[in-house]
Amino acid sequence: MSPEIPSKPTKLCPTCGTRVSADATHCLVCGANLAVAEKKQSGSKPVQGSRMPEITLSLPAILGFFTLFLAIGAGMVYFAMIRSNPTGIEPTLTPTVTSTITPSITPTEVTPTITNTPEPSPTPFTYKVATGDTCSSIAYAFGISINAVVLQNDLPAACDTLYVGQSLLIPQPTPTASPMPTATLSALEATEAACTKIDYQVQDNDTLSSISANYNVPITVLKTYNGLVNDTVRSGQTIVIPLCERFATPGPSPTPTIPPPYPAPVLLLPPDGEPYLTSDQVISLQWAAIGTLRDNEAYQITIMDITDGSGRKLVDYVLDTKYVVPTSFRPGDSRPHVIRWWVNAARQTGTDDNGNPIWDTAGVSSDYRDFIWIGSTQPGVTPTP
């Protein structure tokens, strides 16, 4: 059968959906006024709300996504296990054995007792009494006290039992510390220190040539002392004027400038009280320099035998700071002799009728020092060191 085709146009009731003829005014089922409903539908558009986008997935797609998610999770777990245990071997748990420490007895350190070892005292030497010797002369000759001679030889306190040829033990004298040599100035420093200088403040109308003329000092000297590169000076500038560099005073017989007295030399060797026991021993006297001596100046060395009653004395002049005592000054007997010496600067002021130089003192004398010298040997009187 073929479907029935309506011969007239129809329309649907908007209330109950019954199909009625196109020109019907009322629904035959619900009785709704079709004319009023059509008028309302033609006069306004239906209001529709906004809708969310819809994603429609089929069941195979959902199962595929679920399988992919499980594969990703399994891969992450596998890589985490590989990273924590790269060898793939399950570690075997080994029980830890805890040992009990047995306390040991610590020995107490014993502090050693420090024993002071006395320093050995110098060995005394033997001296045989000669004619005219007394305890005081022997003690003075060797630089020791009379009490030291008495105690060393068990002599009476008066020490009046000495006889010729008696053997006495002479203790070594206590050495005296030598003073440290003082610093000496070089020739340039000595000249600089001896030069008198004044400070002059430049006035408004001053020039370097006028200052040079007023103080009789060469311009080149003023430029050297003040570090000037030209002849220009400014008002208020301080200029150092070395008076020692002035031009020589014109005249038929200018008076030379006498240098100031030299300081006292500092004696170095030998130490005060040094004994010389052998007759062939070389005795060298040394002292510190006091500066650069001029052509007519020298060191005056004075040596005196204070034990000998004749007052033997030796005076000599040297340019060096060392002097070797000549063998001709050695005592002629076996007794100990106290030799005293000192040094000072001297200046030659002229010559006598025989052409010998005349010396005058040019500085302060040094402190004196003594040394003990035993002279030429005689049989049976040789001192035993």
pLDDT digits (tens, 9 = 90+) for 169-210: 888 776 655 556 555 656 666 666 768 888 888 888 888 888
Q: 39-53, 114-128, 210-224 — which is least confidently predicted? A: 39-53
Do residues 275 and 348 both lie within one domain?
A: yes
What's residue 192's pLDDT?
66
State yes or no: pLDDT of 367 exceeds 50: yes
Residue 136 located in a structural domain: yes
pLDDT higher at 249 or 189:
189
Average pLDDT, whole number, for the chain? Answer: 77
d(CA 180, CA 189): 21
Work out whether the CA dihedral 213, 214, 218, 221 comes out positive or negative.
negative
Do residues 302 and 204 both lie within one domain?
A: no
Do residues 337 and 287 both lie within one domain?
A: yes
Number of domains composing the chain: 4
- Asked if 304 contacts 316 with a C-beta cutoff of 8 angstroms, the reply is no
Q: 66-70, 88-92, 218-222, 360-364 — which is least confidently predicted? A: 88-92
Do residues 161 and 203 both lie within one domain?
A: no
Residue 96 located in a structural domain: no
113: which 2 tokens?
């007792």
Mean pLDDT of 131-151: 83
Sequence-separated contacts (24+) of 365-368 with Cβ below 8 Å: 365/264, 366/264, 366/265, 366/266, 366/267, 366/287, 366/342, 367/264, 367/267, 367/342, 368/340, 368/341, 368/342
d(CA 153, CA 238): 76
Which residues span the domain enclosing 26? 10-39
Q: 52-61, 201-210, 321-330 — which is least confidently predicted? A: 52-61
Beta strands 10-12; 19-21: pairing state:
antiparallel
- Find how far residue 222's CA is from the centre of its chain: 39
Q: 32-41, 239-248, 297-306, 327-336 — which is least confidently predicted? A: 32-41
Rg of the Cα atoms in the chain: 64
Of 170, 203, 226, the one marking the end of a domain is 170
State yes or no: pLDDT of 301 exceeds 90: yes
What's residue 5's pLDDT?
55
CATH number reported for the structural domain that contains residue 209 in this entry: 3.10.350.10
Q: Report residue 383's pLDDT band, with 50, 70 and 90 as the boundaries.
A: very low
Mean pLDDT of 311-334: 87
pLDDT higher at 379 or 204:
204
Phi then psi for residue 316, to 5 deg, are -140, 165
Residue 323 located in a structural domain: yes
CATH number reported for the structural domain that contains residue 294 in this entry: 2.60.40
- Find how far residue 147's CA is from the centre of its chain: 50
- Closest among 126, 108, 120, 137 to 168, alpha carbons compared: 126
Mean pLDDT of 345-371: 88
> Per-residue DSSP letters for 282-348?
--EEEE---S---TTEEEEEEEEESSSTT--EEEEEESSSEEEPPGGGS-SSSSEEEEEEEEEEEEE
pLDDT higher at 241 or 278:
241
Do residues 237 and 312 both lie within one domain?
A: no
- Cis? peptide before 91, omega within 30° of 0: no
What's residue 384's pLDDT?
39
- Closest among 177, 139, 123 to 338, alpha carbons compared: 139
Q: Report residue 379's pLDDT band, with 50, 70 and 90 as the boundaries.
A: very low
pLDDT digits (tens, 9 = 90+) for 99-133: 555 555 665 666 666 666 555 566 787 888 888 78
Instruction: Tell me the percentage of the chain whose pLDDT exceeds 90.
Output: 8
pLDDT higher at 243 or 37:
243
d(CA 13, CA 20): 7
